[in-house]
């Protein structure tokens, strides 16, 4: 499954149902570049979870809404509600725990 970019316009509709993992990142962020392949591997392994990315530079409203202070930040949503969050690099296993 591919990782879908999110914007302020499609965010609420996308996370409204089921489980969604959102990766808040930026192009210039070294740790985000290392996190990217792990998030993609999670998406491939777990097609039942919607996996999305928010570029904090392009979507400052979303970054502000979720009080993103450091990146990468991963937030797991269940039926539109943020249920778990982690800041910094995460392993595949940690992401799987985040989305349980």
Q: Which of 29, 39, 43, 54 is catalytic?
A: 29
DSSP 3-state of 36: helix
Contact 88, 72 (CB under 8 A): yes
Q: What is the mean pLDDT of the chain?
A: 96
Using an 8 Å Cβ cutoff, are 3 and 44 in contact? no
* Active-site pick, 6, 15, 22, 32: 32
Q: What is the pTM of this model?
A: 0.95
Per-residue 3-state assignment (H helix, E strand, C coil) for 55-78: ECCCCHHHHHHCCCCCCCEEEEEE
CATH annotation of 4-98:
3.40.30.10
Active site residue 52: no
How confident is residue 2, by pLDDT bands cut at 50, 70 and 90? confident
The secondary structure element, H or E, covering residue 100 is none
Active site residue 99: no
Residue 72: C-alpha distances to residues 39, 83, 94 (Å): 11, 17, 14
């Amino acid at each position: 499954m591919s990782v879908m970019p999110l914007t302020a316009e499609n965010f609420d509709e996308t996370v409204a149902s089921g489980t969604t993992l959102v990766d808040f990142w930026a192009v210039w962020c070294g740790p985000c570049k290392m996190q990217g392949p792990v998030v993609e591997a999670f998406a491939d392994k777990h097609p039942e979870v919607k996996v999305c990315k928010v570029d904090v530079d392009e979507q400052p409203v979303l970054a502000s809404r979720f009080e993103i202070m450091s990146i990468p930040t991963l937030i797991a949503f269940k039926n539109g509600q943020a249920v778990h969050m982690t800041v910094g690099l995460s392993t595949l296993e940690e992401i799987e725990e985040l989305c349980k």
